[in-house]
């Protein structure tokens, strides 16, 4: 029988995940002369949510918002109330808002273009309204942001270990000792011993059935399968917010590529959302704005929703981007070229002869996501430390900061590296650690089988279980049935893999099942409904007295235990 080979690496800090947070963490750690390895499941040049670009980043720009009469504190308060529904790690959010501009200036030093001659704002910045009630969203040329960052990682002297999917954490005497990954191309187990680990593997996607019916036709990067969250949970780290789904209401193109935020958002000045009668349901960017943070600003919303229009018989819903001047159109195309999946959208439209000037784009709701608005992940303190000493988390990996998105990744990555470096300065020897036994056994088991179930069948079953029992109707009995079903699947699937690529997918199934079980358990525990982000049929009321909290879940002696934390 073929046995898996194990290769060992050592460093002071192991950064897991080479997305925006992981790259920034590796750069900062290397700047501080720390011996760092950045491990990525794909390649940091084009990986994670920002693989194909970013068109905007929010932050506090004192010369602009200050002049418009909005203070940093007001902007943070706006985020707390309107983006995070009050449930947010306030100190971390404040840190993100206050230091986002510093990290944007780092990006500029690394080579990103952020200033434009046509801007009349201080610093020649292009700032727009997006998810806050003040103009604080910088438009920039972010199409190659991952290339720029990964080049900076290399220039700074950090090592990159690409195509290694981290599966488990190494632990010694109750403290972090490194990480264990599977080589998605070389098929080896990589044991990376380290004095500190920064987790930055992003969101948990591929849990829910995609609307187009194809596993990889989702808005989020399909390679992000909650690996970090599952590994941390198995190592006893406490996770919070895992019961929340992304806030519903996001729609994307129905038949084209399912990227960015059509029809309105920061990047389409002329973009409106209209019903089949041509009535405007989402306003265009030109028509919004206003000064204050507390409600007088005119927003995209018209009081009508796409879903409501569909149900009222006035569907389909379209993005109508034909409004506006030539200049508006030019600006929009520039912005879309830089936004995640935007270049793909433009390419497809071009090949089908579609033109924003003449054609409306049909929209459809995106599949449920366990993403940034949910902010499920390890609870972190004010320096990104998780509940396992020496283990830090940053960006979309971390729990408790909904809507932090790219600025959260840049700033927390930077902070986590500084915190991790302080720890490594105090530890003399790199620990040995334990933690690879189960994943090695799982891989060897699959490799020893000549016949069995392909990973695609497990994936389809997970999609069904999670969608049926966690989306359509959420209640204690439904969640218990979901848990039972995932347990049954885990106990009966006999996966096979013909090559490292297929074995990687098998390992993803293990993580998706673990993430699903965490979600069901937390769903059972949160006995209330909370606005758009969480509804229980058996507890329809919001219950602030008992549930205005982060719900923590961790494993103790193979039993899941819960704890509440005030935000």
Ligand X SMILES: Cc1cc2nc3c(=O)[nH]c(=O)nc-3n(C[C@H](O)[C@H](O)[C@H](O)COP(=O)(O)OP(=O)(O)OC[C@H]3O[C@@H](n4cnc5c(N)ncnc54)[C@H](O)[C@@H]3O)c2cc1C
Q: How far is the CB of 375 from ligand X (least distance, A)?
A: 10
Residue 353: count of CB within 10 angstroms of its CB: 8
Sites for ligand X among residues 149-178 (CB under 6 A) = 165-166
Give Cα separations from 288 to 3, 68, 265, 284 (angstroms).
61, 15, 11, 7
Q: Does 243 bind ligand X (CB under 6 A)?
A: no
* Lateral strand order in the sheet of 251-253: 251-253, 361-365, 317-320, 272-274, 280-282
How many residues make contact with ligand X (CB under 6 A)? 42
| Closest by CA position to 364, among listed 315, 302, 313, 314 | 315
What's phi and psi for 167, nearest 5 deg?
-115, -35
Sites for ligand X among residues 18-57 (CB under 6 A) = 18-22, 39-42, 47-50, 54-57
Sites for ligand X among residues 349-388 (CB under 6 A) = 372
Strands (E), 216-340: 239-240, 251-253, 272-274, 280-282, 317-320
Residue 200: count of CB within 10 angstroms of its CB: 33
Taking CB under 6 A as the binding criterion, the range among 11-19, 96-104, 279-287, 531-539 that sits at the site for ligand X is: 11-19
Q: Does 201 bind ligand X (CB under 6 A)?
A: yes
Binding-site member from 9, 11, 15, 17 for ligand X (CB under 6 A): 17
| Closest by CA position to 365, among listed 208, 254, 246 | 254
Sites for ligand X among residues 384-443 (CB under 6 A) = 395-397, 405-406, 409
Q: How far is the CB of 511 from ligand X (least distance, A)?
A: 8
Q: Which is nearer to ligand X, 197 or 465 (CB)?
A: 197
Binding-site member from 148, 160, 197, 220 for ligand X (CB under 6 A): 220
Q: Does 224 bind ligand X (CB under 6 A)?
A: yes
Q: How far is the CB of 58 from ligand X (least distance, A)?
A: 6
Q: Which is nearer to ligand X, 137 or 275 (CB)?
A: 137
Q: How far is the CB of 406 from ligand X (least distance, A)?
A: 3
Q: Which is nearer to ligand X, 55 or 309 (CB)?
A: 55
Spatial distance between the Cα atoms of 350 and 359, rounded to a whole number of angstroms: 12
Query: Largest Cα–Cα distance of the chain, in whole Å?
Result: 70
Q: How far is the CB of 517 from ligand X (least distance, A)?
A: 18
Binding-site member from 273, 340, 377, 500 for ligand X (CB under 6 A): 340
* Contact characters 440-479, ligand X, x per CB under 6 A: ----------------------------------------
Taking CB under 6 A as the binding criterion, the range among 12-20, 64-72, 418-426, 553-561 that sits at the site for ligand X is: 12-20
Residue sitting closest to ligand X (CB)? 19
Sites for ligand X among residues 96-125 (CB under 6 A) = none
* 493 within 8 A of 453, measured Cβ to Cβ: yes
Give Cα separations from 307 to 265, 363, 509 (angstroms).
18, 11, 32
Residues 6+ apart with CB under 8 A from 461: 489, 493
Q: Does 341 bind ligand X (CB under 6 A)?
A: yes
Report the helix count and the strand count for the chain, using DSSP H and E.
Answer: 14, 19
Q: How far is the CB of 462 from ligand X (least distance, A)?
A: 17
Q: Does 15 bind ligand X (CB under 6 A)?
A: no
Q: Does 79 bind ligand X (CB under 6 A)?
A: no
Instruction: Tell me the HSE value of 241 on the side-chain side, using a 13 A CA sphere.
Output: 32
**Strand 164-172 relative to strand 175-183, pairing:** antiparallel
* Contact characters 245-284, ligand X, x per CB under 6 A: --------------xx------------------------
Give Cα separations from 312 to 59, 104, 250, 315, 365 (angstroms).
38, 44, 19, 8, 16
Q: How far is the CB of 395 from ligand X (least distance, A)?
A: 2
State the DSSP code for 169.
Answer: E
Q: Which is nearer to ligand X, 56 or 209 (CB)?
A: 56
Spatial distance between the Cα atoms of 358 and 81, rounded to a whole number of angstroms: 39
Partners of 434 in the β-ladder: 171
Binding-site member from 12, 78, 339, 436 for ligand X (CB under 6 A): 339
Q: Which chain residues interact with ligand X by CB under 6 A?
A: 16-22, 39-42, 47-50, 54-57, 165-166, 181, 200-202, 219-220, 223-224, 227, 259-260, 339-341, 372, 395-397, 405-406, 409
């Amino acid at each position: 029988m073929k046995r898996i080979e194990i290769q060992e690496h050592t460093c002071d800090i192991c950064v897991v995940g080479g997305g925006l947070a992981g790259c920034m963490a590796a750069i900062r750690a290397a700047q501080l002369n720390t011996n760092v390895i950045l491990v990525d499941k794909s390649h940091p040049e084009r990986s994670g949510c920002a693989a194909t670009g970013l068109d905007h980043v929010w932050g506090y720009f004192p010369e602009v918002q200050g002049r418009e009469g909005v203070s940093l504190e007001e902007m943070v308060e706006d985020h707390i109330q309107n983006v995070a529904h009050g449930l947010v790690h306030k100190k971390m959010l404040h840190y993100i808002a206050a230091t986002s501009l510093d990290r944007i200036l780092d990006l500029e030093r690394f080579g990103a273009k952020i200033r434009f001659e046509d801007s009349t704002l201080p610093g020649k910045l292009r700032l727009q309204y997006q998810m806050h009630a003040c103009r604080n969203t910088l438009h920039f040329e972010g199409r190659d942001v991952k290339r720029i960052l990964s080049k900076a990682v290399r220039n700074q002297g950090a090592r990159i270990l690409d195509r290694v999917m981290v599966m488990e954490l190494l632990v010694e005497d109750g403290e972090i000792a490194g990480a264990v990954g599977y080589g998605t191309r070389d098929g080896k187990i990589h044991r990376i011993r380290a004095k500190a680990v920064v987790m930055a593997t992003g969101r948990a996607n591929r849990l829910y059935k995609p609307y187009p019916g194809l596993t990889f036709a989702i808005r989020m990067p399909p390679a992000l399968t909650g690996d970090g969250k599952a590994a941390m949970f198995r190592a006893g780290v406490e996770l919070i917010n895992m019961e929340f789904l992304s806030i519903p209401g996001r729609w994307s193109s129905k038949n084209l590529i399912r990227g960015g935020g059509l029809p309105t958002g920061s990047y389409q000045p002329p973009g409106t959302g209209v019903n089949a009668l041509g009535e405007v349901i989402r306003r265009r960017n030109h028509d919004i704005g206003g000064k204050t943070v507390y409600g007088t600003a005119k927003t995209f919303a018209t009081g009508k929703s796409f879903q409501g229009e569909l149900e009222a018989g006035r569907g389909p819903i379209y993005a109508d981007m034909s409004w506006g001047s030539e200049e508006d159109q030019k600006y929009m195309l520039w912005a879309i070229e830089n936004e995640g999946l935007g270049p793909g959208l433009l390419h497809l439209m071009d090949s089908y002869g579609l033109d924003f000037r003449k054609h409306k784009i049909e929209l459809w709701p995106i599949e449920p996501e366990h993403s940034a608005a949910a902010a499920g992940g390890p609870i972190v303190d004010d320096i990104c430390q998780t509940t396992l000493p020496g283990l830090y988390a940053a960006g979309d990996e971390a729990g408790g900061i909904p809507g932090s998105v790219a600025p959260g990744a840049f700033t927390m990555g930077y902070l986590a590296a500084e915190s991790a470096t302080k720890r490594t300065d105090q530890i003399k020897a790199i620990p040995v650690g334990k933690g690879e036994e189960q994943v090695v056994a799982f891989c060897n088991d699959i490799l020893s089988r000549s016949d069995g179930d392909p990973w695609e069948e497990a994936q389809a079953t997970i999609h069904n279980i999670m969608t049926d029992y966690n989306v359509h109707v959420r209640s204690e009995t439904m969640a218990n049935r979901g848990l039972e079903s995932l347990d049954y699947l885990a106990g009966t699937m006999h996966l096979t893999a013909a090559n490292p690529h297929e074995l990687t997918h098998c390992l993803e199934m293990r993580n998706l099942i673990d993430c699903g079980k965490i979600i069901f358990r937390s769903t059972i525990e949160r006995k209330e409904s909370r606005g758009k982000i969480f509804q229980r049929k058996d507890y329809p009321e919001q219950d602030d007295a008992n549930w205005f909290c982060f719900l923590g879940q961790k494993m103790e002696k193979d039993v899941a235990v819960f704890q509440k934390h005030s935000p």
